[in-house]
Amino acid sequence: MSTPTLRLPETPTGSRILSIGAARGANVVTNDDIAGPIDSSDEWIQQRTGIVTRRRADADVTVIDLSEEAAREALTGAGLTGADIDTVIVSTVTHFEQTPAAAAVLADRIGATPAAAWDISAACAGFSYAVGQADALVRSGAARYVLIVGAEKMSDFIDPTDRSISFLLGDGAGAAVVGPSDVPGIGPTVWGSDGSKAGAIGQTHAWDAMKTTPDAGWPTLRQDGPSVFKWASFQMAPIAQRALDAAGVTADQIQAFVPHQANMRIIDQLIKQLRLPESVVIGRDIADTGNTSAASIPLATERLLREGQVKSGDLSLQIGFGAGLVYAAQVIALP
């Protein structure tokens, strides 16, 4: 008897983002609210980062709570229910449990059980990583409708006296439903990492220090701001350009550019390096939301759509970059 040839699923031509949902922390935190412990001022923070306010969640709100709020909005936008979702991916670095995954709990909350569910850790590049994974899963036939969420409660990992990163950070979640499409709605993902720069952004100490060093305390986040600025501003522009090239489009053919909302000055430098025409709308949600890591790209995109600055079908170049160091970029058709 001959060995049978394994059957493969039928595969769609492409995938696309069908909808986006957003959840921002309920509290507006001004620069004046946080300037004291870092001996700073509203003017310095605005000049340094472009941030006017950031949104932070209440103490009892979790990463999964934020994820659920964004996910429900995305499901409604896609005209689907949880039962239609067969895969859930949550990107987060601020979920308190290493196991079980936030994605499994989220899947259950939205009625998506028994969807495949897992978390990914790609920090501020997490949403773009999730888009890349979802696109590949849908196009391979491994999934039909994938719910992806970038969710962070960064305020649980800040040190009010830290001048390197804490003052940038906000809380929120952005969700998207990715499904099959007759025409490609997600271009090739250009992604990578550079672990030699792992020390550029990360925790003050690893969790095991809390066992070995009794006074280590709760870890908070730190970054080497100038080094990260240089890397993000000048090494990420060529990555974004490669995503345009891979999708077969030029800068004058896209309608929006949504980089990770790390710092307004990085955004401005990327625009300059990419020589984007003035017709391209720029995601600048950081001004009032702060840096929400994996949530920042979908939150900024949701805002552009909600405010009517872009419309369904427009092409958006998005790029995430952050701790790892890791990065990912792709061109998407907006839902």
Given the rule CB under 8 A, which residues bind another protein?
48, 224-227, 229-230, 233-234, 263, 265, 269
Nearest distance from C-beta of residue 144 to another protein, angstroms: 45
For residue 289, which of 9, 16, 28 has the smallest C-alpha distance?
A: 28
Contacts for 255 with CB less than 8 Å, ≥ 6 apart: 279, 280, 281, 310, 314, 315, 316, 334
Q: Which of 31, 95, 124, 263 is catalytic?
A: 124
Name the token pair of 126: 């997490």
263 flagged as catalytic:
no
Q: Which of 31, 95, 263, 291 is catalytic?
A: 291
Between 195 and 226, name the residue whose CB sits nearer to another protein: 226
For residue 157, which of 311, 7, 323, 288 has the smallest C-alpha distance?
A: 323
Between 14 and 225, name the residue whose CB sits nearer to another protein: 225
Nearest distance from C-beta of residue 24 to another protein, angstroms: 26
31 flagged as catalytic:
no
260 flagged as catalytic:
yes
Between 214 and 226, name the residue whose CB sits nearer to another protein: 226
Neighbours of 196 (CB within 10 A): 8
**Alpha carbon 295 to its chain's center:** 4
Q: At what angle do helices 296-306 and 126-140 cross, to 10 degrees?
A: 80
Nearest distance from C-beta of residue 52 to another protein, angstroms: 18
Half-sphere exposure of 70 (CA within 13 A, CB side): 33
Nearest distance from C-beta of residue 155 to another protein, angstroms: 24
Between 239 and 249, name the residue whose CB sits nearer to another protein: 239
Q: Which of 31, 95, 260, 263 is catalytic?
A: 260
Active centre residues (catalytic):
124, 260, 291
